[in-house]
Amino acid sequence: REAAPASEGGDALSQFRSIGELLRCYGALDGDSADGWEATEFGALVASLSGENELWLALVLMEAAAAELEPPQLAAVLAATLDERLRPNTFVRFAPSEAVYETVDVLADRAAELQRAQMAAGLSFPVGLDAGLCGLVEAWAAGEGWESLVAGTSLDLGDLFRLLRRSLELLKTVSAVPYVSEAAKAAARAAVRACDRYPIAEDELMALPEEEPGGGEEPGEARGGA
């Protein structure tokens, strides 16, 4: 195997050190330890997660735990971090609850702080936060039916399915990590049970009946317009 060019190796080492400094800044690494690389309890939480920006997800989980969110609300807040953005003119009838809005507002400040810290360190990991579609996830986690959900948005079926599926996978991750608070894990497990149902659980898209050529819409087929 060929050795990497010196410039690439130097860039990788520089990024590694920058990540370490950022983690120390956020209390994920113990700067007072012998080598400065010993993980704190928060650092263990960061390390137990998997995603594009584990530090950001850990900060979201800490805030969600402090807010004592109900399972559907936790599902919605996590969905807001998936970078599934609301496209212009997309209709969504399901709005997030007040608790979700309040938590996302707090997280917006955390996101801005992290983005500034990353920029100062020369890092550019994504810090996703958008509440535009999380009302759909909250409704699904609260027991809303698939056809009702589809009728309540102009979002494409495939996009809706992907949003719910990604939210479910993230909830499963949170429910299993060892360093999240017991209350947050219990809420995540309850949200998984609520979200893990057909057609999401089957990993296949249940399309509503298509309109016959020249005919009207079948009952339950109508969808909200933009």
Q: Are 146 and 174 in contact (CB under 8 A)?
A: no
Helix 134-141 vs helix 182-195: angle between axes, to the nearest 10 degrees?
A: 80
> How far is CA 92 from each of CA 5, 105, 146, 151, 160, rounded to the nearest angstrom?
50, 20, 14, 9, 11
pLDDT in tens, 118-130: 999 999 999 999 9
Residues of the chain with pLDDT under 50: 1-4, 6, 205-226
Q: Are 112 and 72 in contact (CB under 8 A)?
A: no
What is the spatial distance between Cα 166 and Cα 174, in angstroms, rounded to a whole number? 12
Q: Are 124 and 66 in contact (CB under 8 A)?
A: no
Closest CA to 114 of 27, 14, 10, 177: 27
Predicted pLDDT of residue 216: 44
One-letter amino acid for residue 53 of the chain: N
pLDDT in tens, 21-39: 999 999 999 877 656 789 9
What is the spatial distance between Cα 42 and Cα 169, in angstroms, rounded to a whole number? 22
Token pair 């550019």 in the structure block, residue: 124
**Alpha-helix residue ranges (DSSP H) falling in the chain:** 6-25, 41-48, 54-67, 71-79, 98-120, 134-141, 146-151, 157-176, 182-195
pTM of this structure? 0.82
Question: In degrees, to the nearest 5, what angle opens at C-alpha 104 toward C-alphas 162 and 74?
Answer: 60
